[in-house]
Structure 1
Amino acid sequence: MTSRLPAILLAALLTLPAFGSTQEAPADNLLKLHQMRLAAQRSLGDFYMYNGMEGDQRYARMIDESLQTADARLKELGAMPGDTTKALHAQLAREWQTYISELTGLVAGLKQNGYTDLQPVADLTERNRRLMELSNELYARIQQEGATQVPPLTQRSRDQSLLMQAIAVDYASRSASIGGSFIGTAGGKALDELAGEFSQQLTSLEQAPQNTPEIRQRLDGISTKWRYIESSLKNYNEKSVPFLINKYSDRIIDGLEDVSARYAAAQS
Structure 2
Amino acid sequence: MNDARLRFRSLALALVVLAITSLSARAQENTSAFLSDLHSFRISNYMALDAFYRFSASGSTDTLNEIVAGINAANDAMNAVSESTGGVLSKDQIESLNQEFDKFKSLMRENINVVRKEGYPDLRLVSDMANQAVAMSNKATDLYKVAQDSTQTDTNGRIEAARMAAVKMAQMMAKYSARTNSSVAQTFQGSSSEKPLDEQARDFDALFATVRKGPAQGELKDQLDNISTKWQFIRGSYVNYNENNVSFVIDRYSKGILKHLAKTIELLQKANG
State whether residues 49 and 242 of structure 1, in contact with CA within 8 Å, keep that contact through their aligned partners in structure 2.
no
Q: Secondary structure of 1:25's partner?
A: helix
1:202/1:145 CA distance change after superposition, 3 Å: closer
Q: Percent identity?
A: 25
AA aligned opposite 2:78:
L
Partner of 2:59: 55
Q: CA deviation at 1:48?
A: 0.8
Q: How far apart, CA to CA, are the structure 1 residues paired with 2:64 and 2:31?
A: 34
CA RMSD of aligned residues (A): 2.0
Aligned match for 1:218, one of 206, 220, 223: 223
User: In the alignment, does 2:104 pair up with 1:104?
Assistant: no
Q: How far apart, CA to CA, are the structure 1 residues paired with 2:226 and 2:189?
A: 32
User: In the alignment, does 2:147 pair up with 1:142?
Assistant: yes
1:222/1:148 CA distance change after superposition, 3 Å: same
Aligned match for 2:76, one of 69, 72, 79: 72
Partner of 1:10: none
Partner of 2:18: none
Q: How far apart, CA to CA, are the structure 2 residues paired with 1:89 and 1:143?
A: 15
Compare 219-228 and 182-191 and name the one that shifted more.
182-191
Compare 120-129 and 193-202 and name the one that shifted more.
193-202
Q: CA deviation at 1:25?
A: 0.6
Q: CA deviation at 1:202?
A: 2.3
State whether residues 180 and 243 of structure 2, in contact with CA within 8 Å, keep that contact through their aligned partners in structure 1.
no
TM-score (norm 1): 0.84
Q: How far apart, CA to CA, are the structure 1 residues paired with 2:153 and 2:220?
A: 24
Q: CA deviation at 1:152?
A: 0.9
**1:131-188 CA distance string (max 9 Å, x none):** 1011111111111222323211110111111111111011011112255512333844
State whether residues 81 and 146 of structure 1, in contact with CA within 8 Å, keep that contact through their aligned partners in structure 2.
no
Q: How far apart, CA to CA, are the structure 1 residues paired with 2:193 and 2:220?
A: 31
State whether residues 166 and 186 of structure 1, in contact with CA within 8 Å, keep that contact through their aligned partners in structure 2.
no
Q: How far apart, CA to CA, are the structure 2 residues paired with 1:178 and 1:49?
A: 11
Q: Which has the higher contact order (CA 8 A, sep 6+)?
A: 1
Q: CA deviation at 1:209?
A: 2.1
Asked which structure has the greater CA Rg, the reply is 2
AA aligned opposite 2:197:
L
Q: How far apart, CA to CA, are the structure 2 residues paired with 1:187 and 1:123?
A: 12
AA aligned opposite 1:66:
G
TM-score (norm 2): 0.82
State whether residues 154 and 263 of structure 1, in contact with CA within 8 Å, keep that contact through their aligned partners in structure 2.
yes
Q: Secondary structure of 1:189's partner?
A: coil
AA aligned opposite 1:122:
S
The runs of 5 or more residues in structure 2 that have no matched partner are 1-26
AA aligned opposite 1:185:
S
Partner of 1:191: 197
AA aligned opposite 1:75:
N
Partner of 1:155: 160
The runs of 5 or more residues in structure 1 that have no matched partner are 1-22
